[in-house]
Structure 1
Amino acid sequence: MDARCRTGRTTCSGRIGNHRGQLIYIRTRARSGNFLVHRNARLVPYIGDREPDSATSILSSHHGWGRIIHSLIRTPAERSRVNGARIIFLVEEDRMSMTAINLMDPEFTTNPAAAYGRLREEAPVVPVNFPGVAAPVWLITRYEDVKAALTDPRFVVDRNNVPGLNEPSARDQIMEAMGVPEDLRPHLTTMVNMDGRAHSRLRTLVSPAFTSRRMDALRSRVEIVAAQLADDLRRKPEPDLLADFSAHLSGTIICELVGVDEADRAEVRGWIQGFAGDDQTRILERARLLVNYTKDLIARRRAEPGDDTISKLLAAEADGDQLTDTEIVTMFTMLIQTGYVTTAHFIPNAVVTLLDHPDQLDRLRADPELLPHAVDELLRVAGPITVGTMMYATEDLNLAGTPIRRGDTLAGCLVSANHDPRVFDDPDRFDIARIPASGRNHLAFYYGSHFCLGARLAEVESEVALRELLLARDGLSLAIERNQLEHHPNPIGNLLVRLPVHF
């Protein structure tokens, strides 16, 4: 038999017959026991040491293909050779209609490490469906492949840098599905969605406002705010650690850092606290309010500069180049959202994880010097972002054995990479003293040129929060059963809706 693949089509001859269609490639334990199967034909041995060139992804038997395969096996000899084999690749003429995994399935939001872990062990690259995106997205699941993709110049985050493509990007499709008005979109397009010189220019201008030294200098202020919020939390009749502590803490600090006037901070916090919710209309209303507020703040800071980030951005210059007002608005909204959402949701995740592992919590209480290591490990196992920014292939290529076409959309699965047993020993074990091997740190803050600017701020806030909640005070516990915790149905975030606690 012969399997030839051109532009995603698989032509089958010999015992399968002359037609195009869906093929499944099965790898058995012995190389000589490989088979190709067509849905409407018999099982046929596949002779050769390599997978079909157009193989696109793994699908395993729980997707229903196991029943199809066993219905095609005609002889006991064939059955014995295929039993226990893994279904490795599904090849389709039309990849737009291929079976892809739905990331809105509750298992991916309630227990992402386990759900994505199963995908990682099935294949390094898996097709998945994102809400609002027409075509499946290739999800990269293994640590080394994710790191490699994040530094590979053949992948870009701005689809306009893929020549000859007219289709809207995945991000534009999501904005369209959300109903984001056209005039608001430029203010929501940040340097996270830029490549090369456009990205490095903005990063060069904004980086001085987020140096590690400046973030460490904020620690005393973070401690004051956290202590007050923890006192208030204990006095509340039904405290919600997310809304009443972590959201308030991260919202207050980021507002102070970027220069929101004190009289406006409560209102701005109220706007940004809704960004992780599910009400799209309300999210857009708050985004509009934040954009308009930022435009007004820029005008005020231009007239009366201060020591805040907006003033620094107005004065920033690189090679004679300054930020435009629109760029400052996008930078401000990005910092507000990322500086709030990630830390506000990571702290509750961290608290739940420590309460789930009382031995590690006791160990931390006995040796508080382990706190920075504990935060690092908590970011690995309970980070708030599960899937990274979408990327686009600028040319046809092969990624971890999977053919990728020019223009295909990809994303790195951070939670899967952070649990990869090829990198982390016993990855499902939570160990606050874990010290990763050199160059093998978690990817919760991303990697490469898009490494999170606010990483050090998030670490400082998290260390202070956990010390205040769990080390300086005793008695914090969940006010509901563990299985009653509710997560936002968000395919890219590990985000709790609330965290009821008591003391």
Structure 2
Amino acid sequence: MNRQCPYVLDPSGADIHAEAAHLHRRGTATPVALPGGVTAWAISGSEAIRRLLVDPRVSKDAYRHWPAWINGDVGVEWPLAIWVSVQNMITAYGSEHTRLRKPVVATFTARRVARMLPRIEQIADELLDRLAELPPGEVVDLRSAFAHDLPTRIVFEVFGIPQQSWAPLHKIIKGFFDTTITVEDAQANGEQLYVTMAELLAHRREHPGDDVTTALIDTRDEGDGSRLSEKELIDNLILLFTAGYETSVNLICSAVYELLRHPDQLEHLRTGRASWEDAVEETLRLEPPATYALMRFAVEDIEMEDGVVIPQGAPLVISFASAGRDPEVHGPGADRFDVTRATRREHLSFGFGTHHCLGASLARLECEVALKRLFARFPDLSLAVRPGELRKVESFISNGLQELPVLLGTAR
């Protein structure tokens, strides 16, 4: 079974759920071919993923536990190298993960996120006011005009990013998640990412503020064992900013799209039979903002329950798409959007265990505010195209819509 021919993942992510279901049927661990000729093991199914995400035999540190990276067989020329070359809390293992995560934890406590609510509501209302001024009947791309701007403005404020860096970062992050990108463009994008983040650090060192970037800069100079290297500082910021932006945009877009496709579910929310929080959780389950998590590595041979052995040093990719639609957890109707579903919260879309996403509370809050405010302001909101005409972002990592054309209807 270890000698199965690898399944070639579609780098464009054109039909991620059909692909995830196919891999799940092949087993909990299936060899797959990634862009650039790297072979990995795709882990499918909710239970198998939960086990491996807390298994000490699984690492995220390519520098310690991926022989192909250590030996140079896979290097910076690999199109997805940025996902393993960064050295931050998401790619760390053991005590190193604890050290790198510690400086960031206080930033995203539930209490601190709750204090952001008034500002999130204010920005949402400002964006909706702007939409209400558009001519009646005009088709609006809700992704670019609302779903994109709300979380990015919050992230910019949280990280203290100056306005001159906004446009370059938008372009860079788009390339960061584009898994159809050429090797040359990927390398250029990575170089520009580091240049931009270095400029941000220089700006914040000269103009410190009450933001995450300044807090991490201060930690960089501490001598209590949590000291960060300059690369770790930059790489932690890359992780936090890119994850906080892309996932929230995808989540808001997917939630609006599913509610417009399923007016009966929207009616549950309007009549109080379900909450906006329920809609957020069901969207996370059905359409996780990230399809796959890259990369993890087997510290030693790992035997799966079905007898498949993942060899030491082999890379793993985690299929969040398969976990969210696992029929063993969510029943035969796992592909259906249902805000009253009893298992709506039983998903892994923000990870599990020590690498659980620190920004999960903020992403949930942003989406809940966005939905509640949007549908209250534009109760007649509708899709401007047929669902089948919408394009997914070109990525097997990021799961979202390229655009969301809508008709706003009359504003309240």
The normalised TM-score by structure 1 is 0.72
Distance 2:375 2:73 in 1: 42
Would you say 1:292 and 2:191 are equivalent positions?
Answer: no
Specify the alignment match of 1:139 in structure 2.
42
How far did residue 407 of structure 1 move? 1.4
Would you say 1:498 and 2:403 are equivalent positions?
Answer: yes
Distance 1:393 1:187 in 2: 17
Would you say 1:193 and 2:94 are equivalent positions?
Answer: no
Q: Give the aligned residue type for 1:177.
A: W
Work out whether residues 125 and 140 of structure 1, in 8 Å CA contact, stay in contact via their aligned partners in 2.
Answer: yes
Work out whether residues 101 and 127 of structure 1, in 8 Å CA contact, stay in contact via their aligned partners in 2.
Answer: yes
Would you say 1:357 and 2:262 are equivalent positions?
Answer: yes
Distance 2:129 2:262 in 1: 25
1:406-429 superposed Cα distances (whole Å, 9 cap, x missing partner): 112222211111111222234223
SS in 2 for 1:153: coil
Alignment of 1:89-488 (within 5 A): 95=3, 98-104=4-10, 109-135=13-39, 137-162=40-65, 166-168=67-69, 173=74, 175-178=76-79, 188-234=86-132, 235=134, 237-262=138-163, 264-265=165-166, 268-269=169-170, 271-273=172-174, 275-277=176-178, 279-280=181-182, 285=188, 287-316=190-219, 317=222, 319-367=224-272, 370-401=275-306, 402-425=308-331, 426-436=333-343, 441-488=346-393
Runs of 5+ in structure 1 lacking a partner? 1-54, 57-94
Q: Give the aligned residue type for 2:237.
A: F
| Bigger-Rg structure (1/2) | 1
1:349-393 superposed Cα distances (whole Å, 9 cap, x missing partner): 111111221110111122286111210111000112111222111
Work out whether residues 69 and 75 of structure 2, in 8 Å CA contact, stay in contact via their aligned partners in 1.
Answer: no
Specify the alignment match of 1:52 in structure 2.
none
Question: 1:268/1:457 Cα in 2 relative to 1: closer, same or farther (>3 Å)?
Answer: same
SS in 2 for 1:388: strand
How far did residue 475 of structure 1 move? 2.2
Work out whether residues 476 and 502 of structure 1, in 8 Å CA contact, stay in contact via their aligned partners in 2.
Answer: yes
Work out whether residues 233 and 241 of structure 1, in 8 Å CA contact, stay in contact via their aligned partners in 2.
Answer: no
How far did residue 249 of structure 1 move? 1.6
Aligned positions, number: 399
Question: 1:493/1:152 Cα in 2 relative to 1: closer, same or farther (>3 Å)?
Answer: same
Question: 1:241/1:118 Cα in 2 relative to 1: closer, same or farther (>3 Å)?
Answer: same
Distance 2:173 2:395 in 1: 17
How far did residue 454 of structure 1 move? 0.8
Distance 1:377 1:498 in 2: 21
Question: 1:161/1:460 Cα in 2 relative to 1: closer, same or farther (>3 Å)?
Answer: same
Q: How much identity, in percent, do the aligned residues show?
A: 33
Work out whether residues 239 and 500 of structure 1, in 8 Å CA contact, stay in contact via their aligned partners in 2.
Answer: yes
SS in 2 for 1:427: coil
Work out whether residues 289 and 400 of structure 2, in 8 Å CA contact, stay in contact via their aligned partners in 1.
Answer: yes
Q: Give the aligned residue type for 1:241.
A: L
The normalised TM-score by structure 2 is 0.87
SS in 2 for 1:474: coil
Distance 2:393 2:83 in 1: 24
Question: 1:389/1:271 Cα in 2 relative to 1: closer, same or farther (>3 Å)?
Answer: closer
Work out whether residues 255 and 279 of structure 2, in 8 Å CA contact, stay in contact via their aligned partners in 1.
Answer: no
Distance 2:80 2:6 in 1: 25
Question: 1:196/1:171 Cα in 2 relative to 1: closer, same or farther (>3 Å)?
Answer: farther
SS in 2 for 1:307: coil
SS in 2 for 1:239: strand
Work out whether residues 68 and 74 of structure 2, in 8 Å CA contact, stay in contact via their aligned partners in 1.
Answer: no
How far did residue 115 of structure 1 move? 3.3
How far did residue 323 of structure 1 move? 2.1
How far did residue 404 of structure 1 move? 1.7
Q: Give the aligned residue type for 1:101.
A: Y
Distance 2:48 2:268 in 1: 34
Work out whether residues 208 and 214 of structure 2, in 8 Å CA contact, stay in contact via their aligned partners in 1.
Answer: yes
How far did residue 483 of structure 1 move? 1.1
How far did residue 436 of structure 1 move? 3.2
1:111-132 superposed Cα distances (whole Å, 9 cap, x missing partner): 4334322332342222222112
Distance 2:63 2:233 in 1: 22
How far did residue 204 of structure 1 move? 0.6
**Greater CA deviation, 289-298 or 450-459?**
289-298
Distance 1:311 1:160 in 2: 28
Alignment of 1:29-48 (within 5 A): none
How far did residue 99 of structure 1 move? 2.2
Higher relative contact order (CA 8 A, sep 6+): 2
SS in 1 for 2:68: coil
Distance 1:498 1:170 in 2: 41
Work out whether residues 353 and 382 of structure 1, in 8 Å CA contact, stay in contact via their aligned partners in 2.
Answer: no
How far did residue 264 of structure 1 move? 4.6
Question: 1:233/1:386 Cα in 2 relative to 1: closer, same or farther (>3 Å)?
Answer: same
Distance 2:216 2:304 in 1: 39
Question: 1:171/1:191 Cα in 2 relative to 1: closer, same or farther (>3 Å)?
Answer: farther
